[in-house]
Protein backbone atom coordinates (compact mmCIF):
# COMPACT_ATOMS: atom_id res chain seq x y z
CA UNK A 1 0.00 0.00 0.00
CA UNK A 2 1.42 3.37 -1.02
CA UNK A 3 2.24 5.70 1.89
CA UNK A 4 0.22 8.88 2.34
CA UNK A 5 3.40 10.74 3.30
CA UNK A 6 4.90 11.38 -0.12
CA UNK A 7 4.83 14.79 -1.82
CA UNK A 8 2.84 13.54 -4.80
CA UNK A 9 0.24 11.56 -2.81
CA UNK A 10 -0.21 14.39 -0.28
CA UNK A 11 -0.71 16.93 -3.09
CA UNK A 12 -3.17 14.62 -4.83
CA UNK A 13 -5.26 14.07 -1.66
CA UNK A 14 -5.35 17.78 -0.82
CA UNK A 15 -6.19 18.76 -4.42
CA UNK A 16 -9.03 16.24 -4.75
CA UNK A 17 -10.63 17.45 -1.51
CA UNK A 18 -10.01 21.14 -2.22
CA UNK A 19 -8.20 21.46 1.11
CA UNK A 20 -6.35 24.65 2.03
CA UNK A 21 -4.01 24.95 5.02
CA UNK A 22 -5.13 26.96 8.02
CA UNK A 23 -2.23 28.86 9.53
CA UNK A 24 -4.20 29.35 12.75
CA UNK A 25 -4.22 25.55 13.28
CA UNK A 26 -0.48 25.16 12.68
CA UNK A 27 -0.99 22.65 9.86
CA UNK A 28 2.26 21.26 8.45
CA UNK A 29 1.93 17.76 6.99
CA UNK A 30 4.84 15.30 6.93
CA UNK A 31 5.88 14.06 3.49
CA UNK A 32 8.72 11.67 4.39
CA UNK A 33 7.86 8.05 5.30
CA UNK A 34 11.36 7.50 6.78
CA UNK A 35 10.70 10.09 9.48
CA UNK A 36 7.36 8.44 10.29
CA UNK A 37 9.08 5.07 10.57
CA UNK A 38 11.62 6.55 12.99
CA UNK A 39 8.82 8.04 15.11
CA UNK A 40 7.04 4.70 15.50
CA UNK A 41 10.38 3.03 16.25
CA UNK A 42 11.15 5.62 18.93
CA UNK A 43 7.74 4.93 20.52
CA UNK A 44 8.49 1.17 20.65
CA UNK A 45 4.99 0.16 19.54
CA UNK A 46 3.64 -3.40 19.43
CA UNK A 47 0.20 -4.89 18.83
CA UNK A 48 -0.26 -4.73 22.64
CA UNK A 49 0.10 -0.92 22.52
CA UNK A 50 -2.78 1.51 22.35
CA UNK A 51 -1.99 4.92 20.86
CA UNK A 52 -3.53 8.36 21.30
CA UNK A 53 -2.71 10.67 18.40
CA UNK A 54 -3.35 14.41 18.41
CA UNK A 55 -3.77 16.28 15.13
CA UNK A 56 -3.65 13.44 12.57
CA UNK A 57 -3.93 15.82 9.59
CA UNK A 58 -4.56 13.67 6.54
CA UNK A 59 -3.45 10.48 8.32
CA UNK A 60 0.24 10.23 7.34
CA UNK A 61 1.47 9.31 10.82
CA UNK A 62 -1.83 7.61 11.70
CA UNK A 63 -1.38 4.89 9.08
CA UNK A 64 2.14 4.10 10.35
CA UNK A 65 0.76 3.89 13.90
CA UNK A 66 -2.12 1.67 12.73
CA UNK A 67 0.34 -0.74 11.07
CA UNK A 68 2.43 -1.20 14.23
CA UNK A 69 0.08 -0.61 17.20
CA UNK A 70 -3.02 -2.47 18.36
CA UNK A 71 -5.38 0.51 18.23
CA UNK A 72 -5.18 4.23 17.45
CA UNK A 73 -7.57 6.93 18.67
CA UNK A 74 -6.88 10.28 17.00
CA UNK A 75 -8.21 13.69 18.11
CA UNK A 76 -8.72 16.07 15.18
CA UNK A 77 -10.06 19.59 15.75
CA UNK A 78 -10.50 20.52 12.05
CA UNK A 79 -13.82 19.23 10.71
CA UNK A 80 -12.66 19.72 7.12
CA UNK A 81 -10.19 16.86 7.57
CA UNK A 82 -12.79 14.25 8.57
CA UNK A 83 -13.83 13.22 5.01
CA UNK A 84 -10.14 13.02 4.04
CA UNK A 85 -9.35 10.80 7.03
CA UNK A 86 -12.38 8.61 6.24
CA UNK A 87 -10.83 7.96 2.85
CA UNK A 88 -7.12 7.68 3.73
CA UNK A 89 -7.63 5.49 6.81
CA UNK A 90 -10.32 3.26 5.33
CA UNK A 91 -7.95 0.24 5.11
CA UNK A 92 -7.29 0.36 8.88
CA UNK A 93 -10.02 -1.04 11.10
CA UNK A 94 -8.03 -0.31 14.28
CA UNK A 95 -8.33 3.50 13.98
CA UNK A 96 -10.96 5.79 15.47
CA UNK A 97 -11.06 9.56 14.81
CA UNK A 98 -12.68 11.89 17.36
CA UNK A 99 -13.56 15.38 16.08
CA UNK A 100 -12.70 17.28 19.25
CA UNK A 101 -10.16 19.70 20.68
CA UNK A 102 -7.96 17.51 22.88
CA UNK A 103 -7.52 20.42 25.32
CA UNK A 104 -11.27 20.37 26.00
CA UNK A 105 -11.78 16.61 25.70
CA UNK A 106 -12.31 14.18 28.58
CA UNK A 107 -9.27 12.11 27.64
CA UNK A 108 -9.46 9.90 30.76
CA UNK A 109 -12.93 8.68 29.81
CA UNK A 110 -11.79 8.04 26.23
CA UNK A 111 -8.89 5.95 27.61
CA UNK A 112 -11.28 3.92 29.79
CA UNK A 113 -13.70 3.32 26.91
CA UNK A 114 -11.23 2.66 24.10
CA UNK A 115 -8.14 1.03 25.59
CA UNK A 116 -9.35 -1.55 28.11
CA UNK A 117 -7.05 -4.59 28.04
CA UNK A 118 -4.04 -2.91 26.41
CA UNK A 119 -0.70 -3.53 28.12
CA UNK A 120 0.77 -0.19 27.12
CA UNK A 121 -0.63 3.22 26.20
CA UNK A 122 1.41 5.84 24.33
CA UNK A 123 0.73 9.31 23.00
CA UNK A 124 2.38 9.68 19.58
CA UNK A 125 1.77 12.85 17.60
CA UNK A 126 3.03 15.55 15.30
CA UNK A 127 1.78 18.38 17.53
CA UNK A 128 0.62 21.76 16.20
CA UNK A 129 3.38 24.11 17.41
CA UNK A 130 1.08 26.77 18.82
CA UNK A 131 -0.40 24.39 21.45
CA UNK A 132 2.51 22.04 22.13
CA UNK A 133 3.14 23.02 25.75
CA UNK A 134 -0.54 23.19 26.85
CA UNK A 135 -1.18 19.71 25.37
CA UNK A 136 1.84 18.10 27.04
CA UNK A 137 1.04 19.74 30.38
CA UNK A 138 -2.64 18.71 30.18
CA UNK A 139 -1.65 15.07 29.64
CA UNK A 140 0.77 15.18 32.58
CA UNK A 141 -1.23 17.32 35.04
CA UNK A 142 -4.47 15.42 34.38
CA UNK A 143 -2.48 12.24 35.05
CA UNK A 144 -3.74 10.54 31.89
CA UNK A 145 -2.59 6.92 32.41
CA UNK A 146 -0.04 6.77 29.58
CA UNK A 147 3.37 5.07 29.71
CA UNK A 148 5.03 7.60 27.46
CA UNK A 149 4.69 10.50 25.06
CA UNK A 150 6.57 10.69 21.75
CA UNK A 151 5.83 13.94 19.96
CA UNK A 152 7.17 16.17 17.26
CA UNK A 153 7.48 19.79 18.28
CA UNK A 154 9.55 22.87 17.61
CA UNK A 155 13.21 22.01 18.21
CA UNK A 156 13.61 24.99 20.51
CA UNK A 157 10.78 23.69 22.75
CA UNK A 158 12.30 20.20 22.69
CA UNK A 159 15.62 21.69 23.84
CA UNK A 160 13.87 23.47 26.69
CA UNK A 161 11.94 20.39 27.82
CA UNK A 162 15.05 18.18 27.94
CA UNK A 163 17.44 20.87 29.28
CA UNK A 164 19.71 20.36 32.29
CA UNK A 165 20.43 22.94 35.04
CA UNK A 166 22.93 25.75 34.30
CA UNK A 167 22.07 25.87 30.59
CA UNK A 168 20.28 28.75 28.87
CA UNK A 169 17.44 26.44 27.77
CA UNK A 170 16.70 25.25 31.33
CA UNK A 171 13.62 26.84 32.88
CA UNK A 172 10.25 26.24 34.51
CA UNK A 173 9.06 24.16 31.50
CA UNK A 174 12.08 21.83 31.86
CA UNK A 175 11.24 21.35 35.55
CA UNK A 176 7.50 20.87 35.01
CA UNK A 177 7.98 18.15 32.39
CA UNK A 178 10.94 16.44 34.10
CA UNK A 179 9.01 16.37 37.39
CA UNK A 180 6.57 13.94 35.75
CA UNK A 181 8.77 12.25 33.11
CA UNK A 182 12.24 11.27 31.97
CA UNK A 183 12.80 13.49 28.94
CA UNK A 184 15.06 12.77 26.00
CA UNK A 185 15.48 14.54 22.66
CA UNK A 186 15.36 11.59 20.25
CA UNK A 187 16.24 13.23 16.89
CA UNK A 188 15.99 16.46 14.89
CA UNK A 189 13.63 16.78 11.91
CA UNK A 190 14.50 19.27 9.13
CA UNK A 191 11.80 21.67 7.92
CA UNK A 192 12.16 20.33 4.36
CA UNK A 193 10.12 17.17 5.14
CA UNK A 194 6.88 19.12 5.65
CA UNK A 195 4.22 20.58 3.40
CA UNK A 196 4.15 23.54 3.74
CA UNK A 197 7.61 23.80 5.36
CA UNK A 198 7.53 25.52 8.78
CA UNK A 199 9.91 28.38 9.58
CA UNK A 200 11.93 26.33 12.08
CA UNK A 201 13.40 22.86 12.49
CA UNK A 202 11.51 20.31 14.55
CA UNK A 203 12.50 17.57 16.96
CA UNK A 204 11.09 14.34 18.28
CA UNK A 205 11.03 14.23 22.06
CA UNK A 206 10.45 11.07 24.08
CA UNK A 207 8.94 11.37 27.55
CA UNK A 208 8.73 8.27 29.73
CA UNK A 209 6.18 8.90 32.48
CA UNK A 210 7.59 8.25 35.95
CA UNK A 211 5.74 5.96 38.40
CA UNK A 212 6.30 8.64 41.03
CA UNK A 213 7.29 12.30 40.49
CA UNK A 214 11.05 12.95 40.33
CA UNK A 215 10.98 14.66 43.74
CA UNK A 216 8.65 14.57 46.71
CA UNK A 217 7.09 17.90 47.71
CA UNK A 218 4.55 18.95 50.36
CA UNK A 219 2.50 21.02 47.92
CA UNK A 220 2.77 20.39 44.18
CA UNK A 221 0.99 23.58 43.13
CA UNK A 222 3.25 25.74 45.31
CA UNK A 223 6.35 23.89 44.03
CA UNK A 224 5.44 24.95 40.48
CA UNK A 225 4.69 28.50 41.64
CA UNK A 226 8.18 28.68 43.17
CA UNK A 227 9.86 27.36 39.99
CA UNK A 228 7.96 29.77 37.71
CA UNK A 229 8.71 32.71 40.02
CA UNK A 230 12.41 31.78 40.16
CA UNK A 231 12.69 32.23 36.38
CA UNK A 232 10.53 35.38 36.13
CA UNK A 233 13.62 37.49 35.39
CA UNK A 234 16.47 35.17 34.51
CA UNK A 235 19.24 37.66 35.29
CA UNK A 236 18.00 38.31 38.80
CA UNK A 237 19.06 36.28 41.82
CA UNK A 238 16.74 33.65 43.25
CA UNK A 239 16.21 35.85 46.32
CA UNK A 240 15.15 38.86 44.22
CA UNK A 241 12.78 36.84 42.06
CA UNK A 242 11.10 35.22 45.06
CA UNK A 243 10.78 38.50 46.98
CA UNK A 244 9.29 40.27 43.94
CA UNK A 245 7.16 37.39 42.67
CA UNK A 246 5.70 35.44 45.59
CA UNK A 247 2.50 36.71 47.28
CA UNK A 248 3.53 39.02 50.12
CA UNK A 249 7.16 38.42 49.21
CA UNK A 250 8.35 41.92 50.03
CA UNK A 251 6.91 41.75 53.56
CA UNK A 252 8.35 38.25 54.04
CA UNK A 253 11.84 38.90 52.70
CA UNK A 254 13.48 37.65 55.92
CA UNK A 255 11.41 34.44 55.85
CA UNK A 256 12.42 33.85 52.21
CA UNK A 257 16.06 34.44 53.11
CA UNK A 258 15.75 31.98 56.02
CA UNK A 259 14.12 29.37 53.75
CA UNK A 260 16.98 29.64 51.24
CA UNK A 261 19.49 29.15 54.08
CA UNK A 262 17.60 26.11 55.40
CA UNK A 263 17.46 24.59 51.92
CA UNK A 264 21.23 25.13 51.58
CA UNK A 265 20.82 27.51 48.65
CA UNK A 266 22.96 30.63 48.31
CA UNK A 267 20.53 33.61 47.92
CA UNK A 268 22.77 35.11 45.20
CA UNK A 269 22.34 32.09 42.89
CA UNK A 270 20.13 32.28 39.82
CA UNK A 271 17.12 30.03 39.29
CA UNK A 272 18.70 28.29 36.29
CA UNK A 273 21.43 26.77 38.53
CA UNK A 274 19.00 24.91 40.82
CA UNK A 275 18.21 21.22 40.32
CA UNK A 276 14.75 19.70 40.80
CA UNK A 277 15.71 18.42 44.25
CA UNK A 278 16.94 21.89 45.28
CA UNK A 279 13.65 23.43 44.12
CA UNK A 280 11.78 20.76 46.11
CA UNK A 281 13.79 21.54 49.26
CA UNK A 282 13.25 25.27 48.70
CA UNK A 283 9.48 25.08 48.20
CA UNK A 284 9.08 22.95 51.36
CA UNK A 285 11.34 25.34 53.34
CA UNK A 286 9.28 28.35 52.16
CA UNK A 287 6.08 26.65 53.34
CA UNK A 288 7.69 25.98 56.72
CA UNK A 289 8.58 29.67 56.92
CA UNK A 290 4.99 30.66 56.27
CA UNK A 291 5.59 31.85 52.71
CA UNK A 292 2.89 30.59 50.32
Q: Are 157 and 133 in contact (CB under 8 A)?
A: yes
Contacts of 74 (CB under 8 A, 6+ apart): 52, 53, 54, 56, 62, 85, 95, 96, 97, 98
How far apart CA 5 and CA 19 sit, in angstroms, is 16
**Residue 288 assigned to a binding site:** no
**Residue 28 assigned to a binding site:** yes
Instruction: List C-alpha distances in Å: 172 to 5, 54, 67, 87, 101.
Output: 36, 24, 37, 42, 26
Q: Is the peptide bond before 58 cis (omega within 30 degrees of 0)?
A: no
Mapping DSSP to helix (H, G, I), strand (E, B) and coil, where does residue 183 land?
A: strand
**Residue 55 assigned to a binding site:** yes
Alpha-carbon dihedral 88, 14, 75, 102, rounded to 10 degrees: 180
- Phi and psi for 204 in degrees, rounded to 5? -100, 125
Q: Are 149 and 173 in contact (CB under 8 A)?
A: no
**Residue 255 assigned to a binding site:** no
**Residue 94 assigned to a binding site:** no
Give the annotated binding-site residues for S-adenosyl-L-methionine: 28, 30, 55, 76, 101, 126
Which residues line the annotated binding site? 28, 30, 55, 76, 101, 126
Amino acid sequence: MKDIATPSRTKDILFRHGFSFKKSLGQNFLIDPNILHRITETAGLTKETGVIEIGPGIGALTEHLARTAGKVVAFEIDQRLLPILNETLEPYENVKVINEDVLKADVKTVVEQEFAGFEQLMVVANLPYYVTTPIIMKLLEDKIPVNGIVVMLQKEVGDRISAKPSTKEYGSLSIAVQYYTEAELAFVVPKTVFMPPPNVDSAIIKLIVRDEPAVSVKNEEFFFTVTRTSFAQRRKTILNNLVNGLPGGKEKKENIYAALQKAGIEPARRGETLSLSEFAALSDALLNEGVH
